[in-house]
Amino acid sequence: MSANRLELRHLRKRFGDLDVLADISLTVKPGEFVSILGPSGAGKSTIFKLLTGGVEPDGGEVLFDGTPLMKDRRPFAFMPQRDALMPWRRIIDNATLGLEVRGMARSRARAQVAPLFAEFGLDGFERHYPAQLSGGMRQRAALLRTVVQHRDMLLLDEPFGALDALTRAGMQQWLQTMWNHHRWTALLITHDVREAVFLSDRIYVLTARPARVMTEIAVPLRRPRIDLATPEASAIEAQLLQTLLNPDKRT
């Protein structure tokens, strides 16, 4: 088996006259948490569309476990920017939606999901509707719906971007705890430098559109990460900010 779970090789994508991705190469190893940072409009979400089959690349290739990713094989569980919970379905039925779409009977899907509610901090809220939950609880429900599909890899597209700062910080801590326990293979898109440092093993920084990988930065901080006010964490944040704000002066 390949040492990399996911490998992107020189991906390119253009929409009409708009050149979005010029040259994207990156890797994610099994059990690794990798983030993608870049300016708004750089094409970060386009990368996820290429992985989930929403669009096709104009060049390059995607390998999963060392073999080309085929149209009929989509090993990713995708969590979008907003929770996308269906307001007319109770939380337990939102959590089972992905399983039901794949053909599992609702009763069996509920039985599979129910034991996870306590772990996700949702015990006692199975019969509630999304409007009855806080923003953080809705995001936990959305992540539960994502991971219960038991796909090989998680794609997280700014999952906490719509939350207030305090709730977002709490969710980042919660996700770190969950990742430390489950060791999901995950690729995160974020605009939040501190979030990337807090959660990631490695971070890829993209240029402005048409996007290329500007640099790759390792985050060798011990886990669990509780305090990012350390000199080591601050240095990584400063390096990322310097790279994003002054891309022509990077070393």
What's the pTM? 0.90
Contact 205, 215 (CB under 8 A): yes
Q: Domain residues of the chain, as ranges? A: 6-75+152-249, 85-150
Cα separation, 158 vs 152, whole angstroms: 19
**Identity (one letter) of the amino acid at 78?**
F
The per-residue pLDDT for range 79-108, each reduced to its tens digit, is 887 788 999 999 999 999 988 888 889 899
Residue 193, token pair as written in the block: 């430098």
Write down the residue that tokens 């996820």 correspond to: 48
The per-residue pLDDT for range 27-67, each reduced to its tens digit, is 999 999 999 998 888 888 899 999 988 888 999 999 999 99
Q: What pLDDT, on a 0 to 100 scale, did the predictor assign at position 182?
A: 86
- Which of 42-46's residues contact partners 24+ apart within 8 Å by CB, and which partners? 42/206, 42/207, 42/208, 42/209, 42/211, 43/13, 43/206, 43/209, 43/210, 43/211, 44/157, 44/189, 44/206, 44/211, 45/157, 45/189, 46/13, 46/20, 46/21
Question: Which CATH number applies to 6-75+152-249: 3.40.50.300, 3.40.50.360, 3.50.40.10, 3.40.640.10?
Answer: 3.40.50.300
Is the pLDDT score of 250 beyond 60? no
> Confidence class of residue 251 from pLDDT cuts 50, 70 and 90?
very low
Is the pLDDT score of 236 beyond 50? yes
The per-residue pLDDT for range 111-170, each reduced to its tens digit, is 999 988 998 889 999 999 999 999 889 988 998 998 888 888 999 998 888 788 888 888
Cβ-based neighbour number of residue 75 at 10 Å: 14
Q: At what angle do helices 165-182 and 135-147 cross, to 10 degrees?
A: 30
Cβ-based neighbour number of residue 39 at 10 Å: 17
Helix, strand, coil percentages (3-state) for the chain, rounded to 5, are: 35, 25, 40
Residue 216, token pair as written in the block: 């790759």
Write down the residue that tokens 């002054």 correspond to: 246
Q: What are phi and psi of 138, to 5 degrees?
A: -60, -40
Residues sharing a CB contact under 8 Å with residue 251, sequence separation 6 or more, in sequence order: none
Q: Which segments of the chain does DSSP mark as H helices, in order?
A: 44-52, 91-95, 97-101, 106-113, 135-147, 165-182, 193-199, 231-245
Q: What pLDDT, on a 0 to 100 scale, did the predictor assign at position 147?
A: 85
- 179 three-class SS: helix
- Which strands make up the sheet holding 59-64, listed edge to edge? 67-68, 59-64, 6-15, 18-28, 211-218, 202-206, 33-37, 186-189, 153-157, 76-79
Cα separation, 93 vs 100, whole angstroms: 9
Residue 183, token pair as written in the block: 């060791």
